[in-house]
Chains A and B, each alone.
Chain A
Amino acid sequence: MTEPLLKVRGLKIGATAYPPGEKPIDIKIVHGVDFDLQPGKVLGLIGESGAGKSTIGLAAMAYGRGGVEITGGEVWVNGRDILKERLRAVRRLRGAEVTYVSQSAAASFNPAKKIMEQVTEAAIYQNKFSKAEAEERAVDLFRKLGLPDPETIGNRYPHQVSGGQLQRCMTALALCPQPDLVVFDEPTTALDVTTQIDVLAAIKEAIAATGVAALYITHDLAVVAQVSDHIMVLQQGDMVEYGTVDQIINDPQEDYTKALVSVRSIRHEEKTPTDTPVLRVENVTARYAGTDFDVLKKINVDVHPGQTLAVVGESGSGKSTLARVITGLLPPSDGTITFDGRELAPALAQRPIEDLREMQMIYQMADTAMNPRQTVGTIIGRPLEFYFGLKGKAKQKRIQELLDEIELGDGFHDRYAAELSGGQKQRVCIARALAAKPKLIICDEVTSALDPLVADGILKLLLNLQKIEDVAYLFITHDLATVKAIADSIAVMYQGEVVRYGTKSQVLSPPFDDYTDLLLSSVPEMKIGWLEETIAHRKMESAGH
Chain B
Amino acid sequence: MKNIPISAMIGLFFTSIYFFMAIFAPWLAPYGMAEIVGDVWEPSSSEFLLGTDSIGRDLLSRMIYGGRTTIFIATAATILSFTLGSILGFFAAVSGGWVDQAISRFVDLIMSIPSLIFALVVLSVMPTTVPILIILMGLLDSTRVYRLARAVAVDITVMDYVEAARLRGEKIGWIIFRETLPNALSPLIAEMGLRFIFAVLFVSTLSFLGLGVQPPQADWGGIVKENKEGINYGIQAALYPAYAIATLCISINLVADWILNRTTSLKGGRG
Contacts and interface: CB of A to CB of B under 8 A. Distances in A.
A369 B161 contact: yes
Contact of B169 (A353, A363, A365): A353
A318 to B, nearest CB: 18
Given A348-B166, A353-B169, A21 B267 contact: no
B3 interface: yes
Nearest to B179: A371
A373 B182 contact: yes
Given A21-B265, A386-B170, A370 B270 contact: no
Interface in A419-440: 419, 432, 436
B267 A372 contact: yes
Given A356-B169, A371-B183, A361 B264 contact: no
A329 interface: yes
B168 A383 contact: yes
Nearest to A360: B167
A21 B183 contact: no
B269 A19 contact: yes
Contact of A418 (B166, B179, B182, B271): B271
A20 B159 contact: no
Contacts of A386: 168-170
A17 B265 CA distance: 12
Interface string A371-396: 11100000000110010000000000
Interface string B151-186: 000000001110110111110000000010011000
A386 B169 CA distance: 9
Contacts of B164: 361, 363, 369, 432
29 contacts: A17-B269, A19-B269, A20-B261, A20-B262, A20-B265, A21-B5, A21-B262, A21-B265, A22-B3, A329-B167, A348-B166, A356-B168, A356-B169, A357-B169, A365-B160, A368-B159, A368-B161, A370-B161, A371-B161, A371-B182, A372-B183, A372-B266, A372-B267, A382-B168, A383-B168, A418-B269, A419-B270, A419-B271, A436-B168
Contacts, number: 63
A372 B169 CA distance: 20
Contacts of B182: 371, 373
Contacts of A361: 164, 167
A327 interface: yes
Given A368-B160, A371-B161, A371-B179, A356 B167 contact: yes
Interface in B120-163: 159-161, 163
Contacts of B161: 368-371
B270 A418 contact: yes
Most B C-beta atoms less than 10 A away, residue of A22, A383, A418: A418
A369 B158 CA distance: 10
A437 B269 CA distance: 32
Interface residues of A, number: 29
Contacts of A365: 160
A348 B167 contact: yes
Interface in B66-101: none
B19 interface: no
Interface in B217-271: 258, 261-262, 264-267, 269-271
Interface string B1-36: 001010000000000000000000000000000000
Contacts of B179: 371
Given A363-B160, A382-B168, 10 more contacts: A20-B265, A21-B258, A348-B167, A353-B169, A356-B167, A370-B161, A372-B183, A386-B169, A418-B271, A419-B270
Given A21-B265, A418-B270, A419-B270, A369 B160 contact: yes
A375 to B, nearest CB: 12
Contacts of B271: 19, 418-419
Given A329-B163, A363-B160, A368-B159, A373 B168 contact: no
